[in-house]
Amino acid sequence: MRNKLAAGASLFILLILLSAVFAPLIATHNPAAVDSRSVLTGPSRQHIFGTDRLGRDIFSRIVYGSRISLSIGFIAVGIAVLIGVFLGAAAGYYGGKLDMALMRFVDLMLCFPTIFLILAVIALLEPSILNIMVVIGLTSWMGIARLVRAQVLTLKERDFVAAAKVMGAKDSWIIFRHLIPNAIGPVLVSATLGVGGAILIESALSFLGIGVQPPTPSWGNILMDGRATLGIAWWLTVFPGLFILFTVLSYNIIGEALRDLLEPRLKK
């Protein structure tokens, strides 16, 4: 059952990824095409998820929106992983004052309600897609840094590291070649969960009006677009929300399955 669930989640993610890549082939309409003759029509054979107040096809907007929402998830997490792995490995390997300073900085960053920091930066700069990715990445690397540091701390005492040192390997070689590849398991779990988290943050930013700006469709802003007409056109709010829910849920299920694989204590 566990595995079936994880397999289902992987399949769903695969479908979403494919539809993002092949959006022009899958979308039934032009996502930006305004059609004054079919404004706020419910799901029908022609528009399977209905249309919005400008007569745009919701299904096509969701398909194109997946490009934006998924890119934000991946790139934000990519940035977080880069920073986290690099700082965590440096702190764990060199120890001493550098470790103290870096971990203090991690503690500091963890004290901020993340959404406050993101909100402040995005609102004060401008809500471009790039800014959103970078700011989410810059505020979510701390957990990964801690994980990598802990892994490196135990790994560096192992014999194969000592052997590499004896053979005259440089620090950078040991860190990138021996330590990081061995510490990557928990990072993978964290990154998988992080993609879901970043998609949720983007939708929350859209809700606050400082997410991806229309007319570029993101799942968050399609959903928000339907807020005013929720009473008369439920499809505008329900469908994009379901896409966010199932995508984030799938990432969480996959992340949890990976964790079970990597955590021997939980195995029977």
User: Which of residues 174 and 211 has its CB atom nearest to another protein in the complex?
Assistant: 211
User: Which of residues 92 and 161 has its CB atom nearest to another protein in the complex?
Assistant: 92
State the nearest-atom distance from the C-beta of 221 to another protein, in Å: 12
Cα(41)–Cα(58) distance, integer angstroms: 10
Give the range of 10-18, 81-89, 152-160, 249-257 binding another protein by CB under 8 A: 249-257
Determine, following the binding rule CB under 8 A, whether residue 192 of this chain makes contact with another protein: no
State the nearest-atom distance from the C-beta of 14 to another protein, in Å: 18
Q: Which residues contact 214 (CB under 8 A, 6 or more apart)?
A: 221, 225
Among 94, 207, 216, 261, binds another protein (CB under 8 A): 207
Give the range of 15-23, 89-97, 184-192, 228-236 binding another protein by CB under 8 A: 228-236
Among 25, 111, 166, 167, binds another protein (CB under 8 A): 111
Among 26, 40, 188, 238, binds another protein (CB under 8 A): 238
Cα(215)–Cα(30) distance, integer angstroms: 13
Among 60, 140, 203, 221, binds another protein (CB under 8 A): 203
How far is residue 257 CA from its own chain's centroid? 17
Which 50-109 positions form the footprint of another protein (CB under 8 A)? 104-105, 107-109
In 10 A of CB 11, how many CB atoms? 11
Instruction: Establish how many alpha carbons lie within 13 A of residue 128's alpha carbon, considering only the half-sphere containing its beta carbon.
Output: 5
User: Which of residues 17 and 208 has its CB atom nearest to another protein in the complex?
Assistant: 208
CB contact at 8 A, 59 and 51: no
Dihedral angle computed from the Cα positions of residues 84, 86, 88 and 94, in that order, rounded to the nearest 10 degrees: -170
User: Which of residues 96 and 113 has its CB atom nearest to another protein in the complex?
Assistant: 113
Q: Which residues bind another protein (CB under 8 A)?
A: 1, 104-105, 107-117, 119-121, 123-125, 196, 200, 203-204, 207-208, 220, 223, 227, 230-231, 234, 237-238, 241, 244-245, 248-249, 252-253, 256, 265-266
